[in-house]
Amino acid sequence: MYLIEHLVGLTEGLRLVASFTKAREALHFLQAHPEIDLLLLDIEMPELSGLALMRELAAPYPSVIIISGHRDFALEAFDLHVADYLLKPVEYKRFEEAVRQFQLRRAAPAAVPAPAPALPAATPDFLPAGHDLFVKVNNRLMRLNFDEVLYIEAMSTYSTLVTAKQKFIVHYTLKSIAERLPFAHFRRVHRSYIVNTHLIDSIEDNVLLLAGHEVPLAKSYQDELLQGLRSL
């Protein structure tokens, strides 16, 4: 708690409204104060975990930045759409960047970006070999077969690579991946998603279905995607 209070005190634009050591107390406070727009949350707390707290909050709940000493909960946290996931010990620069991204999203109107051009050739960071790429996951390079990647989802300063069996959190923004990914059949279909067009099963009501996963299709990308798909 004291670490988070200290980080908040150092950061321009943040005002500490309340702090709690017990998640149940925090839950009651948040339920009574829906105007709170940012929650800095640890995971391991008495009575109720931070992730359990999020599940009990009624939508729309505040943006959440997790600050935890355990990386094992990251996938579960991003499934709950947290804004960021910081590992202790937290460097102030990393904390400040997470807050800055939150402030930018809060201040900016919901804008739909222009369709992205075809994805360019890879840079050495991705080390392509066939349809395999080496991607840094949790501080180690892992060889992934991108024929198995269904889609890539933006998660603040992270992205999630989703296959039919598992997810991989990588420390690249979606924009960075789009600039480096060397496979033309991966297409931007939404401000937060790139999909493997070879694995699209169906399209209905601006939703793509890939192996049971639903991905939104933004109107600004629809024409370009449909033109690139083979159809009768």
- What are the tens digits of pLDDT across the range 116-165? 444 344 333 444 445 788 787 766 777 888 999 999 999 877 888 999 98
Token pair listed for 46 = 């008495």
pLDDT in the model for residue 1: 62
- What are the tens digits of pLDDT across the range 9-53? 999 889 999 999 888 999 999 999 989 999 999 998 888 899 999
The model's pTM is 0.53
Cα separation of 185 and 167, whole Å?
20
Token pair listed for 159 = 């992205």
Task: Tell me if 2-107 shares its fold with 124-228.
Answer: no
Cα separation of 54 and 62, whole Å?
9
Class of domain 2-107: alpha beta
For 8, 148, 150, 161, 202, the CA distances from 165, given in Å and listed in that order, are 38, 9, 10, 11, 19
Class of domain 124-228: mainly beta
Place of tokens 């943040």: 14
**Cis amide prior to 60 (ω within 30 degrees):** yes
Mean pLDDT of the residues in the chain = 82
Instruction: Show Cβ contacts of residue 77 under 8 Å, excluding neighbours closer than 6 positions.
Output: 43, 51, 66, 85
Cα separation of 20 and 42, whole Å?
10
Cα separation of 1 and 165, whole Å?
36
pLDDT in the model for residue 139: 64
Say which range, 27-31, 97-101, 160-164, 187-191, has the weakest mean pLDDT. Answer: 97-101
Question: Could you tell me what percent of the chain has a pLDDT over 70?
Answer: 88
Domain boundaries defined on the chain: 2-107, 124-228
